[in-house]
Amino acid sequence: MMSVLPVLAVAFSFLLALLLLLISLWRKPKKYKSLPPGPSPLPLLGTLQYIGVNAGCKHFPELCKQYGPIFTIWKLAEPEVVLCGYDVVKDALINHGEQFSGRPAAPVMDAYSEGYSFPSLDGERWRQLRRFTITALRNFGMGKKSMEKLVLEESQNLIAAVSKTGGKPFNVLNVLGCAVGNISSAALLGEHFHYQDPKFQELIATIRKFIYNAHSPLHELANTFLFLLNVPILKQKIFKESSDLKAFVQKYIYRHRRSVNPEAPRDFIDHFFIKIREEKKSSGGHFNETSLLMTLISMFAAGTETTTATLNFFLILISNYPEIQAKVQQEIDEVTESQRQAEIMDRAQMPYTNAVIHEMQRVLDLAPLAHYHAVTEDTHFRGYTIPKGTTVIAFISSVLSDPSQWETPTEFNPGHFLDENGQFRTKTAFMAFSAGKRVCAGENLARMELFLLFCALLQKFTFTRPPGAERQDCKALKQNRRSLFFSQVCAVPRSQES
């Protein structure tokens, strides 16, 4: 019995030491003492029940009511500060834009992109690549063709594909994906595909999987528990879609490298190669084939899938509001005199259509949480001190439904974007593309696509629910967001309407 006591004493001492170590590790450093309040974290585990996009969308409204518009959750032992409501989000992203312009570490993205993933870029690399990308998107076209002409031409292919449905129920997501994917492909890669091309269909499917995978629970777990990236089977699963997309885009980079002409750039890749050659002599430049590859993947995937999903929602929603659809069609007909396509220059003369498009984006709330930010320095913000490098989550949903900014935040009401004279009015609380220095780099292109493609479709068709389908308002559609990918509509040619 006496010989057991020393063993027990050693075991007890070890457990006590381990407990004290855990407590010391968990004790919040001084720099965290002035963080906003929030739910009590578990030692080392933090508040994992609130971490991730789905958990955030579910719990942030109740946490906001309990702790106020600024609160702290914990990812293991690291704090994440959540911002809610228009006033707070605007104050951070716009009024304090520089301090909130950083990005937190994104281990999974960094692993597959070698540190060049466009959404997670930070510092000088981010500034240079973003500046170049926005300038290139603004200035280049396909040879002498502008981006607007490219979108208008693709709208004709889209109309032809929709016409083949003969007014019968169909899943509009597939043809929209082909149209938007072709615009991205033509502008970025210099290639146009037939909608039925198996290679193109596979590409669209891969992009969809890539985007889903980037927001999957497994991806979030790997970002939290880094050791998962060293498990071969899991690593292969996490990176499969990104590997497939890399292989597809890489072929176009190889092809362009051999044929680029600095005097006559054809597309985004050519412009990037010209920039690479200009920067070649400077040491530590950020323009190389790896940054080109990852920029292309980010723009192609994000631009194609988000715009496709948004247009899909537009058509499903508008089929449930025939009176609003009819007013949009009337305005399109009056401005174009039913003789031509609507163009970007017409947007100023189409306030109701513009208001409907903005309101549909608002109620869709496609990205409830903006890409995570990080503060670039110790930041004093609204009575709290947020240490440099701390992750900051802007809860965009709370801005797009803030009752202080929208008269009827839970309803589909185009009047939110119309003044007393029926003219379009901008709203700074419209943050569908985020806000501040990290606002979506492809915002202008996306706005152009949404306006031109939506107008082109409503000029030719009236979208209705399938026979026997019950009407769903915007609340019901948002609650069943996943079902939108499988929902059907009917596109009745307006020439056949009585």
The pLDDT of 222-251, averaged and rounded, is 86
Q: SS3 of 464, please?
A: strand
Virtual torsion, Cα 318, 467, 180, 245, nearest 10 deg? 130
Of the listed ranges 25-29, 112-116, 283-287, 475-479, the least confidently predicted one is: 25-29
275-310 pLDDT per residue, tens: 998 887 665 678 999 999 999 999 998 889 999 999
Please tell me the distance from the alpha carbon of residue 144 to that of residue 129, in angstroms, as a whole number. 24
- CB pairs under 8 A, 24+ apart, for 155-162? 155/179, 155/341, 155/452, 155/453, 155/456, 155/457, 156/456, 157/182, 157/195, 158/453, 158/456, 158/457, 159/456, 159/457, 159/460, 161/195, 162/457, 162/460, 162/461, 162/491
Q: Which residue has the tokens 């040619």?
A: 493
- DSSP percent split of the chain into helix, strand, coil, nearest 5: 60, 10, 30
**DSSP structure class, residue 229:** G
Of the listed ranges 159-168, 276-285, 350-359, 445-454, the least confidently predicted one is: 276-285
Task: Determine the Cα angle at 208 with ends 365 and 310, to 5°.
Answer: 30
Residue with the larger pLDDT of the pair 121 and 154 = 154
353-392 pLDDT per residue, tens: 999 999 999 999 999 998 999 999 999 999 999 999 999 9
Output the pLDDT for position 145.
53
Q: How confident is the model at residue 322 (pLDDT cuts 50, 70, 90)?
A: very high
pLDDT exceeds cutoff 60 at 326:
yes
Q: Are 69 and 88 in contact (CB under 8 A)?
A: yes
The pLDDT of 309-334, averaged and rounded, is 97
pLDDT exceeds cutoff 60 at 335:
yes
Output the pLDDT for position 13.
64
What's the whole-number average pLDDT of the chain? 89
One-letter identity of residue 452: L
Residue with the larger pLDDT of the pair 97 and 218 = 97
34-85 pLDDT per residue, tens: 999 999 998 878 999 998 888 888 999 999 999 999 999 999 989 999 999 9
pLDDT exceeds cutoff 80 at 135:
yes
Q: How confident is the model at residue 219 (pLDDT cuts 50, 70, 90)?
A: confident
Please tell me the distance from the alpha carbon of residue 267 to that of residue 258, in angstroms, as a whole number. 14
Output the pLDDT for position 142.
40
> Maximum CA pair distance of the chain?
102
Strands (E), 41-151: 70-75, 78-84
Q: Which residue has the tokens 């500034």?
A: 127
The pLDDT of 301-325, averaged and rounded, is 96
Output the pLDDT for position 9.
61
Task: Give me the domains of the chain, ranges plus CATH numbers.
Answer: 85-496 (1.10.630.10)
Please tell me the distance from the alpha carbon of residue 405 to that of residue 398, in angstroms, as a whole number. 11
Q: Are 72 and 82 in contact (CB under 8 A)?
A: yes
Output the pLDDT for position 144.
40
